[in-house]
């Protein structure tokens, strides 16, 4: 009994001590300070900020058997270095309490240091059909003016230093509010 309790305690410390991976899909994990804002043109950063992302548009795109789709446009500015973004993946995205699916963003683009760049194509969020009745009810009853969006993203890309290209992935957590594109007025 005592030996199994000691083993359980030792294993719990080993699990708690584990850290995030140093590489994901061959990209070295790099913790950068990325500031994300919603609808704030000209957002500024500090000397600690590596990049700025401004969600510039949120629009209703489609409703079909696969669900309700919303498209999101964004402006990006790198403050520290030139970079080429290969893809962006998303995880655990929740909109006003409803779990949603966000398509991996597979449209590569480049960002020059200090220059503002628009996403080549909008990102797409889909509310699953199983969530639609609850979301529709919430929209009819509450009709919130804003949408709260929480989740995480991983930005896979390449930076150039000293003539060499380095593969990096930057994990980003976000908690944003947007104007509800389904609400009029």
Residue 57, helix vs strand vs coil: strand
Beta strand residue intervals within the chain, DSSP E: 23-24, 27-29, 34-38, 51-64, 67-78, 83-95, 98-99, 101-102, 109-111, 116-118, 123-127, 146-161, 164-179
**Angle, CA of 141, 147 and 153, to the nearest 5°:** 140
Q: What is the mean pLDDT of the chain?
A: 77
Rounded percentage of the chain residues whose pLDDT exceeds 90: 23
65 has a pLDDT exceeding 80: no
Give 152-175 as a DSSP string.
EEEEEEEEEETTEEEEEEEEEEEE
Helix (H, G, I), strand (E, B) or coil at 139: helix
Angle at 25 between CA 155 and CA 71, to 5 degrees: 35
This prediction's pTM: 0.75
Q: Which residues of 146-171 are buried (b: 16+ CB within 10 A; e: fewer)?
A: ebebebebbbbbbbeeeeeeebbbbb
Q: Which fold has domain 22-179?
A: Immunoglobulin-like (2.60.40)
Pick from 46-50, 96-100, 133-137: least confident: 133-137
Q: What pLDDT score was predicted for residue 156?
A: 96
Q: What is the pLDDT of residue 4?
A: 44
- In b/e form, how buried is each residue of 58-83, taking b as 16+ CB within 10 angstroms? beeeeeeeebbbbbbebbbbbbeeeb
Query: How confident is residue 42, by pLDDT bands cut at 50, 70 and 90?
Result: low
In the 8-state DSSP scheme, what is residue 105? B
Q: What is the pLDDT of residues 7-37, one digit of tens each?
A: 344 444 444 444 667 888 889 998 888 888 7
Every domain of the chain and the residues it spans:
22-179
The pLDDT confidence band at residue 41, using thresholds 50, 70 and 90, is: low
């Amino acid at each position: 009994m005592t030996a199994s309790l000691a083993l359980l305690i030792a294993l719990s410390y080993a699990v708690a001590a584990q850290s995030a991976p140093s590489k994901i899909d061959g990209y070295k994990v790099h913790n950068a300070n990325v500031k994300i804002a919603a609808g704030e043109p000209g957002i500024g950063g500090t000397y600690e900020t590596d990049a700025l992302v401004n969600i510039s548009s949120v629009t209703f795109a489609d409703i079909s058997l696969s669900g309700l789709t919303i498209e999101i446009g964004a402006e990006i500015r790198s403050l520290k270095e030139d970079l080429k973004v290969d893809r962006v993946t998303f995880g655990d995205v929740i909109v006003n309490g409803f779990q949603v699916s966000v398509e991996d963003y597979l449209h590569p683009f480049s960002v020059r240091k200090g220059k503002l760049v628009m996403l080549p194509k909008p990102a797409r969020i889909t509310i699953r059909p199983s969530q639609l009745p609850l979301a529709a009810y919430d929209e009819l009853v509450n009709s919130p003016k804003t949408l709260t969006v929480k989740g995480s993203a991983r930005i896979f890309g390449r930076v150039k230093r000293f003539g060499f290209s380095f593969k990096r992935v930057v994990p980003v957590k976000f908690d944003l509010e947007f104007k509800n594109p389904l609400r009029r007025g």
